Structure formats: C-alpha cells, structure tokens
Amino acid sequence: MEAEELKGEREPAHYAATGIVQMEIVRPHPPRAPRTQLGILMTALIVLVAGYSANRTSAFQWFLLNASLRTQFPEVRWITTRDLADWLEDRHRQPPVLLDVRTPDEWDVSHLPGAQRANHGTSAEAALSRATADTDVVVYDAVGYRAAELATRLRVVGFTHVESLDGSIFKWANEHRPLVRDRDPVRRVHPYTQFWGRLLLDDVRASL
C-alpha cells in the first residue's frame, strides 16, 4: 500500500481524516453494529491524540488502540509479547503456528522468527492445512486490526486455540525483540503507512 507523502506539520483534523480512511482500508468490510461504531469513534480519538501529542508512541495512544480493538473484536483472545517470547524460547513446549497477516511489502522488511505469511484467504488455509482444531495459532499484523479479523474467522471455522498478538509487530519491535529477514536478524519494521508508523520508535521504523 502506498502512503501519501506528508510534508511539514499537519493539523489534527488532517490526521483525523487520514486516519479514518486508513482505518477503513485496514477493515475493508466493517459490520454495521453499535459496538463497531464505538470502535470507530475510539480509533478517531487515537487519530486526534496523535495530532496533538508530541510523544508519538505515548502510552495513551496505545491504550486507546487496545480499547478500540477489544471493543470491535470482543471474542478474540490476546497474548502478550512477553508471553509469546517466552513461549517461542521454551524448548519443552510445542511452538504455535505463527501467522503474519501483513502484505508482502511489509513481510519483506521483517517478520517474527518462525512466522508464515498468510492473508485472509487461501494462504491462511494452506498454512493450517495440517492443523487440527486445537492447534495453537498466534496471528499478528502491524497493530492488530487485520490479525483480529483473521483470528475471528479462524474461530468461526472451528479453530479453538487462536490468539492475536497484543500490540502486534509494532509493539514487538518497540521492545527490541527478535526480527528476521531471510533468516538474518534485523531490527526495523515496515510502518504500514506514514500515519500508523508514528506508533513505532524511531530506531525501529523502516522508511516507506
């Protein structure tokens, strides 16, 4: 996805308009329900906070984002970055099927070790072709929306042990946890768009 070049400082209203459009791209077919409308309003608050805040990765922005995700996807179970990191390092525990729900361009910059790229269609089905209903599955994307949508769909078709990574790859990278590209260690992450990339620390944000 190509992001608009942003030159200079923009007004909060600009961020609000841009953020709502980009949110609809992240969630291309939102259900029309009161809970979803509340989630949209909460995401708009994230946009406005980003426009006013000097701290681009403020805890309050993440709080609003997490609240929005949990409002829009109440059935999704979440796993923390710390718990996933401990799980992946535990040699006595079977690792989960780790699905990256981002675009090829995002994947090519970096991804979590052991992850498989999967979209909402056939690639997700292929990645789980040998999985059973109780196979442990963890999904992630940039900040959580696409992953939560896939987690919801997987639960609908019968997978019972599906979790979405809290904060997704952005939070994982901000905590300087392992990332790879072609099996080589890297530290930077694709920002998805210039707007959402504001949630990444400067030292882990790749250029668009």
Model pLDDT, residue 1: 44
Q: How far is CA 63 from CA 70, 137, 159, in A?
A: 11, 25, 28
Exposed, middle or buried: residue 158 (CB in 10 Å: 0-12, 13-18, 19+)? exposed
Residues near 125 by beta carbon (within 8 Å), at least 6 away in sequence: none
Pair (94, 195) in one structural domain: yes
**Per the domain annotation, does 191 fall within a domain?**
yes
pLDDT band of residue 58 (cuts 50, 70, 90) is: low
- In the chain, the amino acid numbered 24 is E
111 and 56, same structural domain? no
Range of the domain at 104: 77-204
Non-local (6+) Cβ contacts of 113 within 8 A are 88, 178, 179, 180
Spatial separation of the C-alpha atoms in residues 34 and 14, rounded to whole Å: 26
Provide the number of structural domains found in the chain.
2
Do both 98 and 179 map to the same domain?
A: yes
Q: Is the pLDDT of residue 176 over 90?
A: yes
**Per-residue pLDDT reduced to its tens digit, 183-196:** 999 999 999 998 88
Is residue 140 included in any domain, yes or no?
A: yes
The answer to whether residues 21 and 105 belong to one domain is no
Instruction: State in Å, rounded, how far the first CA of the chain is from the last one.
Output: 10
- Does 55 share its domain with 139? no
Whether residue 1 is contained in a domain is answered as no
User: Does 67 share its domain with 89?
Assistant: no
Render 168-187 in DSSP notation, one character per residue.
HHHHHHHTT--EEETTEEE-
Within this chain, do residues 128 and 170 fall inside the same structural domain, yes or no? yes
Q: Could you report the per-residue pLDDT of 3-49, keeping only the tens digit for each?
A: 443 434 444 444 433 343 344 334 444 444 444 444 455 555 555 44
Please check whether residue 4 lies inside any domain of the structure.
no
Q: Is residue 64 domain-shared with residue 110, that is, in the same domain?
A: no
The region of weakest confidence among 46-50, 64-68, 120-124 is: 46-50
One domain, residues 193 and 93: yes
